[in-house]
Amino acid sequence: MAALNEKEFQNAFIQAFEGDDSGDRTPRQTPGKLYSRAAPTPVESPELLAWSKELATQMEIDPPSQEEVEILSGNKLTDSMQPYAACYAGHQFGNWAGQLGDGRAITLGEWSSKNGIFELQLKGAGPTAYSRHADGRAVLRSSVREYLMSEAMHHLGVPTTRALALVSTGDKVLRDMFYNGNPEYEPGAIVTRVAPSFLRFGNFELLAAQRETKKLQQLVNWTIDRYYPHLTESDRIIKWFEEVVQKTAFLMSEWQRVGFVHGVMNTDNMSILGLTIDYGPFSFLDHYDHSFTPNTTDLPGRRYAFGNQPSIGYWNLGRLANAISLLFEDTEELEKALESYEKIFWDYYYGMMGRKLGFEKVGKDEKELISRFEKVLSGIQPDITLFYRLLADLPSEATPEVIIKHLEPAFYNDLKPKEQEVLATLLTDYSKMRKNSRLSEEAIKRLMNRNNPRIILRNYLLHQAIEELEKGENKLFLRLQEAMKTPYASEGFEDLVQKRPQWAETKAGCSMLSCSS
């Protein structure tokens, strides 16, 4: 274990690539540069609100002293830190946006431990060359959401960036939450984000758009050497892309498993390591609705709605393939690798859904039943998290009326007679298939409960915790922080295992959010 202010940070990325070393944070284009130096801007009175002990232990970092809280707030740098903002481009809502970059995130450097090398990044630490006339700050509500959600996703078993610390700044930040001409001052905060790398599809798109082929080749080779070192063949670039396809397909299936909706799947928000990255207007599903998007900016097209996420993953991979196609004389193998996404995703998807339903193996009959579940549940729209947990305890010998009664806590509305009939028929067929399993009933329940979370970080709970923190209270925040560590537990935190209340259906910050959320 080591203290933040004592250990020497590494700076492999900026040592490997050309950047703008001026330190000038004036918004501008930086062609051919992969980063710009950017020192964090000091804040008034930093206070540590949260510290991820589990992540700190993995990284071998000692609990922070008050002096180290100054580092986590951007008020202090150590001699080995060489802070910078990365430059990348991207497609936003399907349209080419050109140069983007870290507008409110500053990387301090790389922390090494026996468990790997981790980039530490302060989100909300002030303006950079890529802030595009914004202030580079983050408000408490968005910082709380990112801190809790990234750690919640980790404990759910979903690939994700992590959050080490949450610090309030003591400063006020002006934000127009819904871009509707009603700006307000809100308390500021900074999240310390952690990942092996924050490289995105957009890093590669940037160099391709600038026709910087040599630098693109250098970035691809560096990425493979550092994060895919097992790829040593002469065709390693295509093998690398195949692995990115596989990781992205797996991530999409995991989002579908837990009912997570990212909300803004632009290519600059797609990790080259297959991690969930950039938590903004996200949400878990409450009622099961494929067309649900939590992002007001995504209306009315709903490009990034829950049911669209797998296809958007493919679309985004297409943009990455297009970028690296500059490195190929013949793109046939690249196109073949991209087209493999569909089969890979559906293999992951059916395997995942099989485990949610307690099937040891998924064949033709199981796939047909899974499709029926999708159709029926999309129609009646139960609370999807509660539904699958209740399904694990489905009475083995019961009439349709008893089955419906058992699942009633998951319904937001009373089922119509036809809906009851369709659901009862589906569950009767499911029960027969479940009885024919080679697994015991207890083994089926264990399998289902390992794959269907009982506790999720619902937006209304986040909203309540944020409101309390803004009043100086942290009881619910601390309770959520603990509850998210055991999402599959069979008991505990009963008050958090509830449907979304009616008052939260239309309340700002509970149902719909914006990209500033």
Catalytic (active site) residue 268: yes
Catalytic residue among 268, 278, 298, 383: 268
Q: Where are the alpha helices (DSSP H) in 398-490?
A: 400-407, 417-435, 441-451, 459-470, 475-483
The pairing of strands 116-123 and 105-113 is antiparallel
| Cα 365 to Cα 291: distance, rounded to the nearest angstrom | 27
| Cα 244 to Cα 242: distance, rounded to the nearest angstrom | 5
| 251, 158 Cβ separation under 8 angstroms | yes
| Cα 116 to Cα 110: distance, rounded to the nearest angstrom | 10
**Rounded alpha-carbon distances, angstroms, from residue 75 to 69, 71, 78, 170, 209:** 9, 6, 10, 12, 36
**Rounded alpha-carbon distances, angstroms, from residue 306 to 269, 284, 294, 379, 463:** 16, 9, 9, 15, 21
Residue 107, strand partner residues: 84, 121
* DSSP secondary structure letter of residue 62: P
| 285, 458 Cβ separation under 8 angstroms | no
| 490, 449 Cβ separation under 8 angstroms | yes
Could you give the 3-state DSSP secondary structure of residue 194? Answer: strand
* Number of neighbouring beta carbons within 10 Å of residue 89: 26
Rounded to a whole number of angstroms, the CA Rg of the chain reads 23
Residue 194, strand partner residues: 120, 162
SS (H, E, C) 265-306: CCHHHCECCCCECCCCCCEECCECCCCCCCEHHHCCCCCCCH
Residue 237 token pair:
């670039």
65: Cβ contacts below 8 Å, ≥ 6 apart: 3, 5
Angle at alpha carbon of residue 474, lines to 389 and 472, rounded to 5°:
145
Torsion of CA 477, 252, 307, 346, to 10 degrees: -150
Of 128, 123, 129, 125, nearest in space to 161 by CA:
123
The backbone torsions φ and ψ at residue 261, rounded to the nearest 5 degrees and listed phi first, read: -120, 115
Residues tagged active-site: 268
